[in-house]
Amino acid sequence: MISYIIKRLILSVITMIAVSIVAFIIMQAPPGDYVDHLHQTHNACSQPTTRQLLGAVCEVGTPEEREIVREMLGLDQPMIIQYWNWINPMIFHLDFGFSARPGGTFTSAAGLIKEAVPPTVYLILMTILITWSLAIPIGIYSAARQNSVGDYVFTFLGFTGLAVPDFLLALVVMYLLYSNFEYSVGTLHSGTYEMEPWSVGKVLDMIMHLLIPAAVLGTAGTAALIRIVRNNLLDELTKPYVITAQAKGISYWKLIIKYPLRVAINPFISGIGFILPALISGSVILSVVMGLPTLGPLMLGSMINQDVWLASDIILILGGLTVIGTLISDLVLVAVDPRIKLS
């Protein structure tokens, strides 16, 4: 086990290096850069902090002035040098660098990520909890009662959940809640708990505010996982060991839970590695629509502003979540299914 984990950690480091290179190249691919975007959309001199930082060249109006600003930001250097200047502090000092914000201001990228990570984690955990709590029992029921009315109903709802975009469902839910109950989605806490220290009441308030966004975000995932559990369980229920167990008098539901389900949820567990980044990337539009302070809107805003440093940081974090999640899913799969051997 230890040698396998060490081997996987080495492979994970190599994978993260590859992800960092690809992420930085992707963010460099669009035409123009942050200075061009700043010139087209803002007057940097309107920000006192930028005026103090850049002095007389804060107005990037002429090509000469823009080149001076590029030189100050290191954007005039070859891509490989820019990549090293970005990744070097991150590796040796855990420094995520700076973020070039709209209007020409600069702030710590780590500060922005630190503010957005907790709400993102809370939303993801709530979504996973809702998804698994619904998908596993419904998938078991649909397989055990194949071709029943309930199976057809859940199948219809599953395909509907896969077909309806999350952001469209979010808009409908927000409209219905506000028009009927004057309830607004978009914050993690009520006004009375916003600045209060953590307590049981604040946790319960946050859970209530996250239920609707998590349910909307997990709709497609729940529908897909229901189909996975159902189909895998149907394959197992026709195998000889199930028929033999039934012949020995084991109750039907006890049989399903104890034997076929353990095999049927293997793809469920192996998908853990892709749940975290999929939920984060899938929540970009949803978080913008609902006004949630997660990593999604932060990543979208950095890409719009051509903030290559912050966008590359977030993409690298998503890649790291995928690598870590895949390692965890492999280890859990070995623990659940004794037929799988480490190599």
Report pLDDT digits (tens) over 127-166. 888 888 888 899 888 888 888 898 899 888 888 888 888 8
Structural domain boundaries enclosing 249:
118-336
* Structural domain contains residue 64: no
* Structural domain contains residue 91: no
* Structural domain contains residue 97: no
Q: Under a CB-based contact definition with an 8 Å cutoff, are residues 104 and 42 in contact? A: yes
* Structural domain contains residue 169: yes
Report pLDDT digits (tens) over 98-123. 777 666 677 788 888 888 888 888 88
Percent of the chain with pLDDT over 90: 1
Q: Under a CB-based contact definition with an 8 Å cutoff, are residues 209 and 188 in contact? A: yes
Give the number of domains in the chain. Answer: 1
* Structural domain contains residue 42: no
* Structural domain contains residue 68: no
* Structural domain contains residue 29: no
Report pLDDT digits (tens) over 242-292. 888 888 888 888 888 888 887 777 777 776 666 666 676 677 778 888 878
The answer for residues whose C-beta is within 8 angstroms of residue 261's C-beta and 6 or more apart is: 140, 233
CA dist 206 and 201 (Å) reads 9
Residue 129: name the closest of 47, 65, 202, 211 by CA: 211
The answer for residues whose C-beta is within 8 angstroms of residue 55's C-beta and 6 or more apart is: none
Max Cα–Cα distance, the chain, nearest Å: 87
CATH number at residue 138: 1.10.3720.10
The answer for residues whose C-beta is within 8 angstroms of residue 52's C-beta and 6 or more apart is: none
* Structural domain contains residue 248: yes
Residue 229: name the closest of 160, 161, 133, 323 by CA: 133
